[in-house]
DNA sequence: CTTATTTGCGAAAACGGTTTCGCAAATAAA
DNA sequence: TTTATTTGCGAAACCGTTTTCGCAAATAAG
């Protein structure tokens, strides 16, 4: 009934607990013979060490945290897969913590980690995050942290991002080449690095191609789906209706399609649409959706790999390890 | 730099560690005055107790695990949201463990939990799972476990499912009413309860409406996307091509749409298609997809609530708490 | 044959909390 | 005023591991 512990094993084998522990860690102090007996008995009795007891005495909890705004998003769920693939290999477990795009939640979560719940953190900041004190605090307490996708520039650690500027540029350039001369931009936050870099790429493209830039066409979407619907409808109903849209997050896909349909706008004839998205269904939408597709799995994998390097050797300097992984531009029916 | 612990607090306040601990737990032994001083100093010094140290002495780790086949699936990611919403309220953290539909992985994961890494488990079994020893083992060690969606019937604990039989029936009935007389069924596993119950609903509908049943039209999909593509193509190219399809999992959506397109089959004219799915994009697919949509968030929430009840009082009997939450049938363009 | 060295293990102190128990001082009852 | 009770706290055991250190027996070196 009750879980067996190292003491039970010791009693069973007529050895001291210290010896058992050392046998498990393949200590040179213990004879091969004893090691085998210990291992065999452990297997037989189904002994599994308590990870948290181990974590107390210097060793780690073998838990890492993934702090993200939401999980019902293809980018993040694929990134989790990437992270999990390396965590599993390292014998680590993954705590998923959702900020729901709230800075307050994010602070609370990181605060909790001060207590040693996790050995390291992988993080994509919330749309509201512009301060960095909570993160610096955690890192100051010796918890390594690696950013992926949504980063805070001012913090000195590894950041795994994609080429947001170039992607924003490419998306916009494509729309221009397809004949759009009035292009709306749907961002998610004014403080978010990725949103801003994509916006800069958009602006540069407009400028390079001498297309009119109108700040009215830059919409900052909220975290509330209903509110976003209203914003998008207003944009598409307004006197200055765009004939092209660049959207920076996957969850804006459905609202744009729905609003277009409701307003009798045809995609792509009346409105061309390109979205940053990892949706598997992009190719079977009506019309199929032109996307900037981020290397989500790979980004998660790289970020996790770096985190573990830093967990394995303390002198590993995360701040020199940032990487930019390029996204893929996939042309489909929504812009042709 | 280093995290401060209860000893540091004790030193700072000239109190014993025991007193500090009791103050935090609002013990009657400690005066209001002292409690306030402790709380205030803790806040000032940014003290966060080590959850794993607490977990050693009887208290819990405040971690629960969610064991699921994959995370890149709308049902599971929404269920996670539901689970997280109640975990957060209870001050718990959520470990996500992916089996990738492998029984071996599932066994390894549960085995690890014997050590006390988590206080309870929420689980949807893999497609390969038919034995229950690994689960009984864990539960036998005092770790409560609640199933959601994919359950193992023979295990005596709470199971939160949806009305799989009725849904399978309704989907099939709908196709029949829309004129299909040759309906394929795409399952994912022969051992999986949900797949089988949906299949039974399908069979009953065929029978009730005197539509020919042909076991050749029952395809058991694999966990390999490429292989699934082949199976689906074979079905749609065969001499006995169905004019309707019921698919039991979301990830079969894209393959069916793609295969139809590749083979020049029009949905819904040549092939009507209904899928168990929580895809947000179902309504904007080409054509929009008729779905059986499960109450994913709610199922996660109910399952988690039950798990916490059992964590809170030991005498709580999970085995009497199973619930069936109905799915919604949403008719759209793929069957009209 | 004595003196080093190695080998294999046990005892005990940590790790950071919680909890039981005891005890002195303060208060209440007699 | 004496005795009983309550209040507020400290000492120490404990949770399940890891790790340091010491020590006896076995082996090697001189």
- Check which CATH number belongs to the domain holding B17 and give it: 1.10.260
Residue A89: count other Cβ atoms within 10 Å of its Cβ: 11
**Judgement on whether residues B255 and B212 belong to the same structural domain of the protein:** yes
Give me the number of domains chain B comprises.
3
Classify A174 as helix, strand or coil.
helix
Interval A208-228 mean pLDDT: 94
H/E stretch holding B272 reads strand B272-276
Find the residue in B nearest to A114 (Cα). Answer: B48
Beta carbons of A286 and B281 less than 8 Å apart? no
CB contact (8 A) between residue A72 and residue B78: yes
In the prediction, which pLDDT does B129 show? Answer: 95
Range of the domain at B214: 164-294+330-335
The fraction of chain B above a pLDDT of 90, given in percent, is 94
pLDDT at residue number B314: 81
pLDDT at A314: 80
The mean predicted confidence, pLDDT, of chain B is 95
Closest CA to B64 of B107, B117, B101: B117
Contact A167, A327 (CB under 8 A): yes
> What angle (nearest 5°) sits at the alpha carbon of residue B16, between those of residues B11 and B20?
90
Residue A145 lies in a domain: yes
- Cβ atoms of B210 and B238 within 8 Å: the answer is no
Judge if B288 and B314 occupy the same domain.
no
Min Cα distance B88 → chain A (Å) is 9
With a CB cutoff of 8 Å and minimum separation 6, the contacts of A224 are: none
Q: Please check the confidence at residue B159 and state whether its pLDDT lies above 60.
A: yes
Residue nearest C18, CA–C1′ metric: B57
Q: Which of A51, A81, A279 sits opposite B117 (nearest CB)?
A: A51
Question: Is residue A118 in a domain?
Answer: yes
- Nearest nucleotide to B16, CA against C1' atoms: D10
Does the beta-carbon distance from A115 to B1 stay under 8 Å? no
B180 and B287, same domain (yes or no): yes
- Does residue B88 lie within any of the structural domains? yes
pLDDT at position B208: 97
- In this model, does residue A37 exceed pLDDT 60? yes
A72 and A155 share one domain? yes
Element (H, E) at B122: strand B120-123
Domain identity same for A300 and A226? no
Which nt is closest to the CA of A51, judged by C1'? D17
B306 and B288 in a common domain: no
- Residue B217 pLDDT more than 80? yes
> Which residues of chain A neighbour B280 with C-beta distances below 8 Å?
72, 251, 254
Which tokens go with A17? 């607990």
pLDDT at A105 over 80: yes
Confidence category of residue B319, pLDDT binned at 50, 70, 90: very high
Please check the confidence at residue A2 and state whether its pLDDT lies above 80: no
Residue B257 in tokens: 């749409």
Check whether residue B170 and residue B288 sit in a common domain. Answer: yes
Q: What is the mean pLDDT of residues B230-248?
A: 94
Instruction: List the one residue out of B106, B120, B186 whose CA is nearest residue B150.
Output: B106
User: Which of the nucleotides in strand C have any atom less than 7 Å away from a protein CB atom?
Assistant: 7-22
User: Among candidates B30, B43, B36, B31, which has minimal Cα distance to B4?
Assistant: B43
Let me know if residue B54 belongs to a domain: no
Query: What Å value separates CA A214 and C1' D6?
Result: 76
Q: Specify the pLDDT at position B315.
A: 84
DSSP 8-state assignment for residue B121:
E
The DSSP result for B191-255, as a single string, is S-HHHHHHHHHHHHHHHHTTPPP-GGGEEE--S-HHHHHHHHHHHHHSTT--SEEEESSGGGHHH
Residue A1 has pLDDT above 70, yes or no: no
Give the tens place of pLDDT for each residue, A267-298: 999 999 999 999 999 999 999 999 999 999 99
Please check whether residues B238 and B93 belong to one and the same domain: no
Nearest residue of B to residue A251, measured between CA atoms: B280
Contact A52 B46 (CB under 8 A): no
CA pair distance A48, A46, nearest whole angstrom: 6
| Residue B50 banded pLDDT, cuts 50, 70, 90 | very high
Nearest CA in chain B to A54: B52
Strand-pair category, B120-123 with B145-148: parallel
pLDDT score for B112: 94
* pLDDT value, residue A59: 76
pLDDT reported for residue A86: 98
Which residues of chain B have a CB within 8 Å of the CB of A291?
A: none
How far apart CA A129 and CA B37 sit, in angstroms, is 32
Q: Hey, are the CB atoms on A81 and B98 less than 8 Å from each other?
A: yes
How many other C-beta atoms lie within 10 A of the C-beta of residue B173?
19
Count CB-CB contacts under 10 A for residue A320.
9
Strand order across the beta sheet in which B159-162 lies = A323-325, A159-162, A145-148, A120-123, A63-68, A93-98, B93-98, B63-68, B120-123, B145-148, B159-162, B323-325
Footprint of strand C on the protein (CB under 7 A): A 14-19, 22, 29-31, 33-34, 53, 56-58, 115; B 3, 5-7, 17-18, 20-22, 24-25, 29, 47, 49-50, 53-54, 56-59
Chain B hits for A56, Cβ within 8 Å = 50, 52-53, 56
Same domain, A177 and A262: yes
Among partner residues B3, B56, B72, which is closest to A74 by beta-carbon distance? B72
Over residues A112-116, mean pLDDT:
93
The Cα angle at residue A323 between residues A319 and A327, in degrees rounded to 5: 155
The residues, ordered by sequence, that sit 6+ positions from B226 with a Cβ below 8 Å of its Cβ are none
Q: Residue B131 pLDDT > 70, yes or no?
A: yes
Q: Is residue B55 assigned to a domain?
A: no
H or E element at residue B81: helix B74-89
Residues A192 and A221 in one domain: yes
Sign of CA dihedral B97, B102, B108, B110: positive
B27 located within any domain:
yes
Within a 10 A sphere around the Cβ of A183, how many other Cβ atoms? 24
Task: Report CB contact under 8 Å: B96, A84.
Answer: yes
Provide φ and ψ at A97, rounded to 5°. -120, 125
Candidate from B51, B72, B258 with C-beta closest to A115 = B51
pLDDT surpassing 80 at residue B58: no
Name the minimum distance, in Å, from the CA of A76 to any CA of chain B: 9
Task: Tell me which chain B residues have a C-beta less than 8 angstroms from the C-beta of A280.
Answer: 251, 254
Q: What does the pLDDT read at residue A288?
A: 97
Mutate to test the interface with A, among B115, B138, B287 (most CBs of A within 10 A): B115
* A207 contact partners, CB below 8 Å, separation of at least 6: A213
Measuring from the CA of residue B56 to each C1', which nucleotide is nearest? D15
Query: CA(A62)–C1'(C5) in Å?
Result: 39
B137 has pLDDT over 80: yes
- How far is residue A311's CA from residue A144's CA, in Å, rounded to a whole number? 7
User: What are the Cα distances from residue B136, in Å, to A204, B99, B125, B145?
Assistant: 61, 18, 13, 10
Could you identify the residue written with the tokens 């005495």? A57
- Give residue for tokens 């609002």: B26
User: In angstroms, how far is C6 C1' from B53 CA?
Assistant: 38
Burial bucket for residue A17 (CB in 10 Å: 0-12, 13-18, 19+): middle
SS3 content of chain B, % helix, strand, coil (to 5): 45, 15, 40
Give A58-76 as a DSSP string: TS---EEEEEES-SSSHHH
Instruction: Provide mean pLDDT across the span B251-270.
Output: 96
- What is the C-alpha end-to-end distance of chain B, expressed in Å? 65
* A313-335 residue pLDDT tens: 888 999 999 999 999 999 999 99
CATH number of the domain at A214, please.
3.40.50.2300
Task: Point out which residues pair with A328 in neighbouring strands.
Answer: A293
Helical spans, DSSP H, in A178-292: 193-208, 225-237, 253-262
Please give the C-alpha separations between residue A170 and each of A246, B67, B103, in angstroms, as whole numbers. Answer: 10, 40, 44
For tokens 């699936």, name the residue: B73
**Structural domain contains residue A203:** yes
Same domain as B170, residue B150: no
**The pLDDT of residue B265:** 96
For the ranges A32-36, B137-141, B321-325, the one whose mean pLDDT is highest: B321-325
Dist CA A122 CA A3 (whole Å)? 32
Does residue A56 belong to any structural domain of this protein? no
DSSP B130: -
Domain match, B21 and B74 both: no
Half-sphere exposure in the Cβ direction for B152 (13 Å, CA): 22
Task: Tell me what pLDDT residue B3 has.
Answer: 81
What is the separation, in whole angstroms, between the first and last Cα of chain A? Answer: 65
């Amino acid at each position: 009934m009750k879980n067996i512990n190292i003491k039970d094993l010791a009693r069973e084998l007529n050895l001291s607990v210290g010896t058992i522990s050392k046998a498990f860690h393949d200590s040179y102090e213990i004879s091969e013979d004893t090691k085998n007996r210990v291992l065999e008995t452990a297997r037989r009795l189904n002994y599994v060490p308590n990870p948290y007891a181990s974590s107390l005495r210097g060793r780690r909890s073998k838990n890492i945290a993934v702090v993200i705004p939401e999980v019902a998003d293809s980018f993040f769920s694929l990134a989790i897969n990437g992270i999990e693939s390396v965590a599993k290999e390292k014998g680590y477990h993954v705590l998923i913590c959702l900020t729901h795009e709230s800075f307050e939640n994010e602070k609370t979560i990181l605060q909790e980690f001060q207590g040693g719940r996790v050995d390291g953190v992988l993080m994509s900041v919330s749309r509201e995050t512009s301060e960095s004190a909570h993160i610096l605090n955690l890192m100051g307490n010796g918890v390594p942290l690696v950013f992926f996708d949504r980063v805070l520039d001012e913090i000195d650690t590894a950041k795994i991002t994609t080429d947001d500027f170039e992607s924003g540029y490419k998306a916009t350039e494509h729309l221009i080449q397809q004949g759009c001369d009035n292009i709306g931009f749907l961002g998610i936050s004014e403080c978010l690095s990725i949103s801003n870099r994509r916006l800069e790429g958009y602006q540069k493209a407009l400028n390079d191609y001498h297309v009119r830039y109108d700040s009215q066409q830059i919409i900052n979407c909220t975290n509330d789906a209903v509110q976003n619907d209203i914003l998008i409808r207003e944009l598409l109903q307004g006197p200055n209706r765009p004939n092209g849209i660049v959207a920076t997050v996957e969850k804006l896909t459905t609202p744009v399609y729905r609003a277009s349909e409701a307003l009798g706008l045809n995609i792509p004839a009346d409105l061309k649409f390109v979205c940053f998205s990892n949706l598997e269904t992009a190719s079977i939408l009506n019309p199929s959706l032109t996307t900037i597709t981020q290397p989500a799995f790979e980004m998660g994998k790289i970020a996790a790999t770096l985190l573990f390097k830093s967990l394995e050797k303390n002198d590993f300097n995360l701040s020199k390890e940032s990487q930019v992984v390029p996204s893929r531009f996939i042309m489909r029916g929504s812009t042709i």
